Structures are given as C-alpha cells and as structure tokens.
Structure 1
Amino acid sequence: MLVSGALGAVVDMVGAVPDTDVLVVGAGPAGLALACALRLQGVSVRVVDAAPGPASTSRANILHARGAEVLDRLGALGELPERALTALTVTQYLDGRSAITVRFGDHGLGTARPALYVSQADIEAELRRRLHELGAGIDWGTALVDAAQDGHGVTGVLDDGRTVRCRWLAGCDGSHSTVRKLAGIGFPGVRLTEPFLLADVHADMPVDRAGGHGWPHRDGPFFAVPMREVGRAHDLWRFMVYDPAGGDSVQGEQEVLERIRRLVPERTGRTDIRIEDAVWTSVFRVHRRLADTYRRGRVLLVGDAAHIHSPLGGQGMVTGMGDAENLAWKLALVVRGLSADPLLDTYEAERRPLATGVLARTTTATRLQVGDTPLMRFLRRRVLVPLAAMPSVQRRASRLASQLWVTYRNGPLARGTRYRSGGRPRQGDRVPDLPCTRPDGTRTRLHAELGAQWALLAPAGDGADHLTEARGRLGDAVAPLDFETRHGRRELWLVRPDAHLAWRGGRTEASRLARWLDESLHPNRSG
C-alpha cells in the first residue's frame, strides 16, 4: 500500500468525493497523450508537472509511424506533418565517404502516417492544444511530494501543501519518477555507456538535409540529424557524439559546444562543417531500466517512468505514447463502472513484453555503435554495412522502428478466436486505417472513428445484434461502420479505441461476442 508518514492526517478521507478521476503526474508526451485519451472518453483528469512551464527543447526528435497514428486518433496531429521532415534516411560513412544510405518509414507499412523528424517540444505543444480543446489544462510548477492509497482512491500531497483526491494516480513523470518511488516499485537496470554530448546547433552542414548522418569512429560515433525551426533558415541540426574520454570534464553550454567543435573534424574527417551557435546542449549516459511492475493498486506507470533505454532508434516517444493509449480505454471503462479493475492488469501484460523487446534491441544497437573492441569495429565495417545495404534488411528495420507490427495476440484479451488468420488481422493485431462508411452513407477512415470510441465493422445489413451486445457492455461509444472484407467472408470485427482487433466472428455469433466481452471486462465473475 502506498502510504507515507506525511499523510497521517488525510488517510481518513476514504470514500470522500474525488477531485478528479485520474491525477496524471507529468506533462510530457506520455502524460499528455494519456490525459487527452481519457478526456476523449469522458474521464476527468488533472495534470500536474513540477517544471515551471513547457519545454522548448528536448532530446527526442523522431516520431515513428505508430506515434503519428496515436496523435491522429487523439486529434492532436495538427500541422506536424507539414512542419516536419518526412523523407527519413540515415547515411553511414566509412573512411570519409558515404558507404550506405538506409531509407526507412516508407516501405509499404500500410499507413498514411509516415515517420516524422519533429521536435518533442512541437509534439507536446500539439497535445497541450488538444487537451485544452478537451476542457483540461496543466498545473505547471506543481510537484507531487507524497501520496497514500486506499480501497477507494489515492490522496496526493502537492509541494504547496494542498491535497488532491483522485480515483487513480498515473505516473508519467519520467525516469526519475516520484510516483514510482512513492509506490515502492523497483526500477532495476544497468548503465550502458559513458557520456554522450548532445547539442542543437545552427551550423553550415554541406550534407543532404533529407535525413540523418552517422560517422563511426574508434573513439566513438558522431551523429547529425536535421531539425526544423520556425522563422529561420534551414540550418538547425542535432549533433550527438559519444565522448567517453572527455565527456565527464565538460560543464555548461559553452564547454559542450567547444568540445563538439573540436570533435567534429576528428570524428567525421571533414573540415567544412561550421558551427555557429547552440540552441541547447546536454550531457547524458545511456541506461537500460524496466520497472518491476506497471501497477501497484491504484497507481500506474506510463512511459519513461516504467522503462528507459537507448535513444538510438527513436523508440522512446512512440513506446510511451503507445502505453498511454493502451491504458486509457481500459482505465476509462473501469472509471465508468463498465469493467472490473482486473482489466487494468492487462495493461502490463500487453505492454511490458514490448518494452522488454525494445530494451533488448536498442541495447544491442548501442553496444554495436559504441563498442571499441577489434571485434566490434570489424562487425561495424564488414558485417553491418553490407547487411544494411540489403533491401530486405531495410524493410525489416523500417517495420521494427515503426511499431506498426505491435500485436497483443498472445495477451490475456486475445483468446477464444476460432478463425485462422487467412491474411486478416488476428485478435490483438493492429487493424490498418481502412476505408469505411457510416450508417448515414458518409465515407470515413477507421482510425478517424477511434480514440473516443470502439468500432464495429460489419458488412452492410449485418451487425445489429452484435451492436446491441457491444453497447450493452461498453456503453454508447461503439460506432457501427460498414466494411466489406476483401476475402469474401461476411464477418464482423470489433476494434478497440487503440486500433487493435478485440474480436472477430461471424454474422450469427453475437452471443459469442457477448461472452468474450463479459469474460474480458469482468474476468473474475463466476458463471
């Protein structure tokens, strides 16, 4: 139980009317995505963040396709595609020459939402805009310092002494999560690297701005990624350089900038790169950590509060936003009394295996990039470069990075299907953004109907009994959509708000859908 001494005076608030359904701690991408998704489904939220205001700079600057789809379903994509760079390439150099250019994000991934080179700060701004539209705001400069939970909710204490009563507490407050620490949840892991230097700089870079660039070096790799800046010429770049020899000695923006200036010709072999000034700098080490559990009672962890890994591959934002979308519809059903709270255990069951895989892949990639042994140098030069030139490898890398492949078919909610796939999604799989028709004949996209609700896809004239059963258990937030399968079979699909297939069955099997919903929403109910 989450109880600490400072709350002795308020633990008698059991049964008190909550101030909000969900208290979200942390206004980064994961916290904002969770708050927006909850508001879309009618759940009251309060968002607090210890920072004095929104960040104008950030480490993350790649949003992969699944993250763009999440923003689309939340109504928070806004103008990001127009403002971002979308033709994503990574050029690798050997001996000062271009050795291979890897293209990703456009290899027939089945989505209209390509990966974007876009600042995390811009993404957060769109999410804040959407949250404001949905009737909620953010309390900046407000830290959670203590919390206690009971059978009815959680009482949080803020740094100004005020208390907040909520039904559920969501820790979206990053790798140093206060919520995680208050809940007593372990965060085991290891440090993977020595210091990296990171800087957003205005620079004269005589290389293609259509993608990123990487120069392997025995003393550590150097990376350059183009960024956009409103109202300025296209000269903003993000530099990231591994600096195990000197990174510990630099302090402050100017020292970081001067150190990078010295390393540019050494690592790239080029003398024609001119750095003007820095917008932002940082020094960091890569850690790999995974929380012991994503849930303790009425406390849940989301995003970096639950898992951290190498930034190589740009998997941080997309994983955290996926966590948020997965949790939101489940938490909404529980808050509205439509499901028992054991449904929330499926959040960890579905998302933790994904985080484990992401940690493993990014750890391997990082060790291959920064390893300075003869074996690692041989692998980089003689094995990885030839492999990366193969179209099949590029397609697989693009698919892995996109996270569109993510499936929960082995999770606790993907059971009881009697159908083979036959090229169709299986229970737990992501359903593509299919063209559909509303009952009034209006053409629409599947993903445009999700986020706030479920969707029941059925051939024209079918599905009335299924819709009755679904709405009887999920409420009115189930949209009936006409859709003809391409395989000649008249079957129906129930799609979750996060675009994963919940159930698939025949036109006469409404009772089977009802049974699946009853077992999923109330897993401990007898009979």
Structure 2
Amino acid sequence: MTDTEALVVGAGPTGLTAACALRLQGVSVRVIDANEAPSRSSRANFMHARGAEVLDRLGALGDLAESAISALTITVHVAGEPVSVVRFGDVGLRTSRPALLAPQSRVEESLRERLADLGTEVEWGTRLEALHQEPDGVDASVSGGSRIRAQWVVGADGAHSTTRKLIGEPFPGTPVADTWLLADVHLDWPLEPNGSYGWLHADGVLGALPMRDPDGPGIIWRLMAYEPGLADTQLTTDEILERLRRILPERTRISDIHVHDATWSSVFRIHRRLANTYRRERVLIAGDAAHIHSPMGGQGMLTGVGDAENLAWKLALVQRGLATPDLLDTYQEERRPLAESVLRTTT
C-alpha cells in the first residue's frame, strides 16, 4: 500500500516548490516539516528573476510582485562615497519578471497558498526519523510513531538535512569566512529603499537591503556586517543591535542613523558544502540539503527553487510511466555543476 506517491521533507522554498510542481503534474504529495509552525524569520530575502519566473510558472507568485521591492540597483561605497551602481535593467537580462526583495517567509507563504489550492497542506510538527528503501517504495518513520509509505522521497530539509543523513550521504566542505552579524531592523537614515547598498571598509563589508515590513506599512532593512572573531560567541538581539549602532556610522560615514529595533537577528558563519550524490535510489535531495554557500549575491532561494522545478517534472514523468527512472539521473547531471559554479563564484 502507498500513502502517497511523493513525500517531501521540508516546507521551505525548495520543498514547497517541489510539492507545487508535482501536484500540478497530478502526483499525490505529502509535505512534512519538523517545525511546529511556519517561520516568521527570514535568512534569505532576495529572489532573482529566474526564481520569480519559476514561481510564476507554478501559479505561486501571488502578490509578491506587487508587495515586494523590485531590486533594480546595487550601490557600492568606499570611504562613504558611491563608486559603482549596478542597474539590473542595464545588463541585457531577458526576463518576464524582475528580481524581488522579499522575505523568505513571504515567499513560503505564497507557495503554501498555492499548494493549498492544489489540495495539499503542510503537516507541521512532523519529524522524519527513519527511512527504509525497497524496490517499489520507501517506508518513512516520523515522529509520534507514525509511518508513511511513499514511492519517492524528496529531502528539502536544509543544511542539517535529516534525509541526507539517513541515506548516508556525506556533506563535505569547509567554513569559508568568519562570522557575520545579521539583523532585520527598523531604522531612520537618508537612503532610499529602492535598491540595495554595500560598503567596503577595512574592518569588513557592510550590506543593507530594504524589504516591506510584513507586520506593517513601512520598511525594514536587512543589515549584514562582517564581524570576525564571533564564531563561538552567543549574542543577544540587544548586543547585536549595540554592535550595529557602532558599525553603521563607522563603515558608511553617515552620522544621521537611528536604529530602533530588530524583528530578527543572528550571528552567521558561512560554510561551503556540496553533496557528492543527489540521489540514492528512491530518495533525492535538493536545495540546502544538497549544497550550501555564501549568501553573497542572494542565490540561496534561487538555486533551491531551480533544483525543485528541475526534479519535479522529471519525477512526475517517471511516476506516470512516461519515462524510465534513468531520467532522474539527469537531475544531478544538470543541477550539481550549477551548484559547483555558485559555490565557487560566491566564495
């Protein structure tokens, strides 16, 4: 007996994209996530044009194009002065959708709404605990003593993927850089929220990206500051804000800055890791479960949803008997070299 044709582990952008794409092809799907509820915080906040096109093809773009900020410029400063401006519209990119500055939580919300339209809800608080593969399917043991029988399993459960660990797939790599301070803050300063900004400084890079405030009509800013030496340090939100209040005027040379509060904060260390194999028989991994890299360039959500769309249409053809399982090998053949390139260039 089969409970579902595909079990998707993880309800982030990658897992939700895979689930929507599979449902559009008529494949039955269950989506489980170990978290008790959707996250309101957002490590990622940049969706490149190609990622927005994937959401559009799935019917999952929703109102993101209207509610997000179109990220049309990146202005880089040295010694407080702008030295370069990249305008995305000037580089000849042919796309039906612009890049979007939108919190990951909003992207996930839009995907969940589309998945619900397709008849599937996320099963929250359901942790994958064991996998047993057989020639005709996979038995998955989940929290609470339940079992799910699926034809295929898609592991989209992030950098610490339980799915990847259960199939014995190594995740080789190394830390790339020392620690960064991250925070989503309400602040007053003279910069307009119509693009992103960066400052090159001897003490470290500083970046700022605007987003719509999910809890109000205003703007919140994602601040990212390279701050070496914090790898083993636990900082509270107040301590992170105190450091940012010192760092901002020093690195931007803007004196009129008032940081009010933070809706989210973190101390983040960049790792570069890549799985050797994306498929073990009937279990496949995608997104951060398969590769992690520096957030420079904001390619995290893009690579994840790209993996998911590539995998889902192939899996659907195999499940419907319109292609042999060998087609699934092209998923790794096409997506892993791209991940290698992203790891190399972001590093």
Q: Which residue of 1 aligns with 2:223?
A: 239
Shift of 1:253: 1.5
Q: Which residue of 258, 274, 286 corresponds with 2:270? A: 286
Q: Deviations over 1:229-252 (max 9, x none)?
A: 146353411100010045643422
Q: Which residue of 148, 161, 179 corresponds with 1:195? A: 179
Q: Which residue of 25, 32, 48 corresponds with 2:16? A: 32
Q: 2:251 matched to 1:267?
A: yes
Root-mean-square deviation (CA, aligned residues, Å) is 1.3
Cα 1:346/1:44, change in 2 over 3 Å: same
Q: Deviations over 1:187-224 (max 9, x none)?
A: 10110111101000000021121111111111111111
Equivalent AA in structure 2 for residue 238 of structure 1 = R
Q: Which residue of 323, 334, 341 corresponds with 2:307? A: 323
Name the SS of the counterpart of 1:21 in structure 2. strand
Q: Aligned partners of 2:244 and 2:161: how far apart in 1? A: 31
Query: What is the correspondence of 1:486-525 to structure 2 with a 5 Å cutoff?
Result: none
Contact 1:89 1:212 in 2 (8 A): yes
Contact 2:79 2:201 in 1 (8 A): no
Q: Which residue of 50, 53, 77 corresponds with 2:61? A: 77
Q: Deviations over 1:403-446 (max 9, x none)?
A: xxxxxxxxxxxxxxxxxxxxxxxxxxxxxxxxxxxxxxxxxxxx
Q: Aligned partners of 1:247 and 1:298: how far apart in 2? A: 37
Equivalent AA in structure 1 for residue 166 of structure 2 = L
Q: Aligned partners of 1:184 and 1:328: how far apart in 2? A: 23
Cα 1:231/1:183, change in 2 over 3 Å: closer
Q: 2:148 matched to 1:164?
A: yes
Q: Aligned partners of 2:339 and 2:215: how far apart in 1? A: 38
Q: Aligned partners of 2:298 and 2:4: how far apart in 1? A: 33
Q: Which residue of 84, 87, 97 corresponds with 1:100? A: 84
Q: 2:253 matched to 1:253?
A: no
Contact 2:80 2:251 in 1 (8 A): no
Query: What is the correspondence of 1:3-402 to structure 2 with a 5 Å cutoff?
Result: 17-105=1-89, 107-230=91-214, 232-246=216-230, 248-363=232-347
Cα 1:93/1:193, change in 2 over 3 Å: same
Contact 1:85 1:117 in 2 (8 A): yes
Shift of 1:110: 1.9
Q: Aligned partners of 2:323 and 2:330: how far apart in 1? A: 12
Cα 1:61/1:106, change in 2 over 3 Å: farther
In percent, how many aligned pairs have the same letter? 57
Name the SS of the counterpart of 1:184 in structure 2. coil
Equivalent AA in structure 1 for residue 252 of structure 2 = T
Name the SS of the counterpart of 2:70 in structure 1. coil
Runs (4+) of structure 1 moved beyond 4 Å? none
Contact 2:231 2:269 in 1 (8 A): no
Q: Aligned partners of 2:320 and 2:187: how far apart in 1? A: 53
**Unmatched 5+ stretches in structure 2:** none
Equivalent AA in structure 1 for residue 28 of structure 2 = S
Q: Aligned partners of 1:198 and 1:210: how far apart in 2? A: 20
Name the SS of the counterpart of 1:322 in structure 2. helix
Shifted more, 238-247 versus 125-134: the winner is: 238-247
Q: Aligned partners of 1:144 and 1:255: how far apart in 2? A: 35
Contact 1:204 1:235 in 2 (8 A): no
Contact 1:200 1:238 in 2 (8 A): yes
Shift of 1:101: 1.5
Contact 2:178 2:230 in 1 (8 A): no
Contact 2:46 2:101 in 1 (8 A): yes
Shift of 1:98: 1.6
Cα 1:24/1:246, change in 2 over 3 Å: closer
Q: Give me the TM-score of the superposition, normalised by structure 1.
A: 0.64
Shift of 1:299: 0.6
Equivalent AA in structure 1 for residue 13 of structure 2 = P
Cα 1:338/1:251, change in 2 over 3 Å: same
Name the SS of the counterpart of 1:293 in structure 2. coil
Shift of 1:329: 0.9
Contact 1:87 1:211 in 2 (8 A): yes
Q: Aligned partners of 2:52 and 2:270: how far apart in 1? A: 25
Of structures 1 and 2, the one scoring higher in RCO (CA 8 A, sep 6+) is: 2
Cα 1:230/1:295, change in 2 over 3 Å: closer
Equivalent AA in structure 1 for residue 203 of structure 2 = D
Name the SS of the counterpart of 1:167 in structure 2. strand
Equivalent AA in structure 1 for residue 17 of structure 2 = A
Shift of 1:108: 3.0
**Unmatched 5+ stretches in structure 1:** 1-16, 364-527
Shifted more, 108-117 versus 354-363: the winner is: 108-117
Q: Give me the TM-score of the superposition, normalised by structure 2.
A: 0.97
Contact 1:106 1:114 in 2 (8 A): no
The structure where strand makes up a greater share of residues is: 2
